[in-house]
Amino acid sequence: MMPAGLAILAAVLSSLSFSSFNLWPLAWCAFIPLFIALENKSMRSSLFIAFLCGLVFWSICVWWLVHVTLLGQIVLILYLSVYFALFGGIIYLARFIPPVGRLFFLPAGWVLLEYLRSHLFTGLPWALTGFSQYKNLAVIQVADITGAWGVSFLVILVNAAFYLLLRKSAGKKIFGITFFLLFLVTGYGWVKLNQPPDRNTQGRVRISVIQGNIAQELKWDRQQVDFIQERYEQLSLAAVKDRPDLIIWPEASVPGLWGRDKQEYDRVFSLAGRLQTEILTGAVSFSAGDYFNSALLINPAGSVAASYDKLHLVPFGEYIPLKNVFPFLETIAPIGDITPGKEYTIFRLRPALSERPADFGVLICFEDLFPELSREFVKNGAGFLVNITNDAWYKESSAPYQHFAASVFRCVENRVYLARAANTGISGIIDPAGRVLGMVADRRGKEIFVPGYLSGEVCLFAGRRTIYNRYGDYFILLCLLLDIGLAVFYLCRKRG
């Protein structure tokens, strides 16, 4: 097969591991065709072939972005493919390193590129290789030590090992190292999975997550205000029969501006009073000429007990980067102009099943993609996390499933429960081991673009913080030192 064909095959195999089909085993061998395609290629050819692989991968992975912006989708795919091209350069350099060193050089390089992509230009940690394994519970438990980066590292390491064994570039030593690491990670995972998730908790909170299923084209239609509010009222009236301490509505679920549209919010305040239950709702807030993407905690007394303004905004979705310098950028995705928040707000409940207050943090929209936000909320005292989001933009696609995977990792990394309310799905509750305890679904099992609610219990976080929560992305530093060390060592050895 020609190098271009092998690169495309690698992209297809890798992208399928992220799709709604959840073919996660494919990720463990998806990069082998790319390694073969770059054999004996020049640096220039390696960059080009790997860039082609990235083009195909991201075109399949984020095809649904066309529902929001075609031009923005094209620009994003081209940009993200550059990271694949850079990995092609790393693969080229790896040929000068002996097989055992190459086994670690390649995954460390890939993780560094994923980290760079997650932070450069505000960052986009979408479809990290580790995320493909969110249903592979035994493997992902190591994320409480390394973060999702450790899972990405292991997947690429296994790809590299298979390739080296296939090409007879290594023997028992590489097989032994790979088997030992897999045994270590999965063994740790099985130990964690067999620990009761509530063994060190200090009380429970009953929660109901609401999935309104409001089509994106209706959300801000003034003629649909009554329909939208009645939908959430009816679902909340049904959910309150389960006697929750907290009812959670999705991102921007109230069809009006907090701070301007009094009637719409008075109706929510009145509902909280009738239900005698606190409601956490997503809202667009307006204050002093600025707009915020917010979460409001409404108490049974009919007032806002606390609020949080989204910290990490979506570029070209909630704001336009450098729009004063490059005005034409507004044509890429003229959606909104939101101001970022400034504080990590911790919300507080007094649940019936707990002797202590229940503190929690809220992640709005794609904030669950950024592990540093979840870490900070837990550091500040959050006993569990909530994610409110709206993926209706992307229609019935793999986007909600790809997004949901990030929430699973945030639970494992911090060993906390997470409740998720999404406008069109996926809504559900996840435990500290990444187990999905339940999802909103209809009678046929359909999880997206269906209305409904789910009630369940989350346990309050208690005990020692995880290694990852305490020390953050130290694993990235280890990968950097590993790649630099290997390059310097073998360069000096070659010259010697």
Domain assignments of the chain as residue spans, ordered by start: 3-194+473-495, 204-464
For residue 319, pLDDT beyond 80: no
For residue 463, pLDDT beyond 80: no
Q: What is the pLDDT of residue 110?
A: 98
Mean pLDDT of the 215-222 span: 91
* Rounded Cα–Cα distance for residues 328 and 335 (Å): 14
Mean pLDDT of the 236-255 span: 97
Strands 428-430 and 436-439: antiparallel
pLDDT digits (tens, 9 = 90+) for 382-426: 999 999 999 999 999 999 999 999 999 999 999 999 999 999 989
Biggest alpha carbon–alpha carbon distance for the chain? 80
Q: Are 414 and 143 in contact (CB under 8 A)?
A: no
DSSP per position, 184-214:
HHHHHHHHHHTS-TTTT---EEEEEEEE---
* Rounded Cα–Cα distance for residues 292 and 236 (Å): 25
H/E stretch holding 72 reads helix 70-94
* Rounded Cα–Cα distance for residues 455 and 207 (Å): 6
User: How is residue 460 annotated by DSSP?
Assistant: P
Instruction: Please tell me the pTM assigned to this model.
Output: 0.94
Higher pLDDT among residues 230 and 317, named by residue: 230
Q: Is residue 63 exposed (0-12), middle (13-18) or buried (19+ Cβ within 10 Å)?
A: middle
Contacts of 445 by beta carbon, 8 Å cutoff, 6+ apart: none
**Among the residues of 216-338, which ranges form H helices?**
225-239, 262-275
> Which of 29, 53, 61, 365 is an active site residue?
365
Q: What is the pLDDT of residue 352?
A: 78
* Rounded Cα–Cα distance for residues 336 and 252 (Å): 13
**Among the residues of 148-252, which ranges form H helices?**
148-166, 172-193, 225-239
- Cα-based distances in Å from 92 to 51, 65, 86, 301, 306: 13, 32, 10, 65, 53
Mean pLDDT of the 238-244 span: 97
Q: What is the pLDDT of residue 437?
A: 96
Q: What is the pLDDT of residue 334?
A: 47
> Which of 53, 114, 251, 278 is an active site residue?
251
What's the topology of domain 204-464?
A: Nitrilase/N-carbamoyl-D-aminoacid amidohydrolase (3.60.110)
Q: Which residue has the tokens 């990271």?
A: 83
Q: What is the pLDDT of residue 198?
A: 59
Q: Is residue 168 exposed (0-12), middle (13-18) or buried (19+ Cβ within 10 Å)?
A: exposed
Q: Measured on CA atoms in the order 330, 332, 335, 337, is the torsion positive or negative? A: negative
Orientation of helix 399-414 relative to helix 371-379, angle to 10°: 40
For residue 112, pLDDT beyond 50: yes
Q: What is the pLDDT of residue 331?
A: 52
Q: What is the pLDDT of residue 19?
A: 73
Encode burial over 459-485: b for 16+ CB neighbours within 10 A, e otherwise: bbbeeebbebbeebbebbebbeebbee
SS3 content of the chain, % helix, strand, coil (to 5): 50, 15, 35
* Rounded Cα–Cα distance for residues 456 and 421 (Å): 13
pLDDT digits (tens, 9 = 90+) for 364-376: 999 999 999 999 9
> Is-catalytic flag, 310?
yes
Give 333's pLDDT tier (boundaries 50, 70, 90). Answer: very low
Mean pLDDT of the 181-199 span: 89
Q: Which residue has the tokens 């030593």?
A: 173
Q: Are 452 and 211 in contact (CB under 8 A)?
A: yes
Give 440's pLDDT tier (boundaries 50, 70, 90). Answer: very high
For residue 24, pLDDT beyond 60: yes
| CA 469 centroid distance within chain | 16
| CA 74 centroid distance within chain | 22
Give 195's pLDDT tier (boundaries 50, 70, 90). Answer: confident
> Which of 53, 264, 310, 367 is an active site residue?
310
For residue 328, pLDDT beyond 60: no
H/E stretch holding 118 reads helix 99-119
Q: What is the pLDDT of residue 168?
A: 79
Residues of the chain with pLDDT > 90: what percent?
81
Q: What is the pLDDT of residue 460?
A: 87
pLDDT digits (tens, 9 = 90+) for 93-110: 999 999 999 999 999 999
User: How is residue 319 annotated by DSSP?
Assistant: B
Mean pLDDT score of the chain: 92
Any long-range contacts for 95-100 (C-beta under 8 Å, 24+ apart)?
A: 96/490, 96/494, 97/486, 97/487, 97/490, 98/490, 99/164, 99/169, 99/170, 99/174, 100/170, 100/173, 100/174, 100/177
Residues of the chain with pLDDT > 70: what percent?
94
Mean pLDDT of the 60-70 span: 92
What are the residues facing 414 on neighbouring strands? none
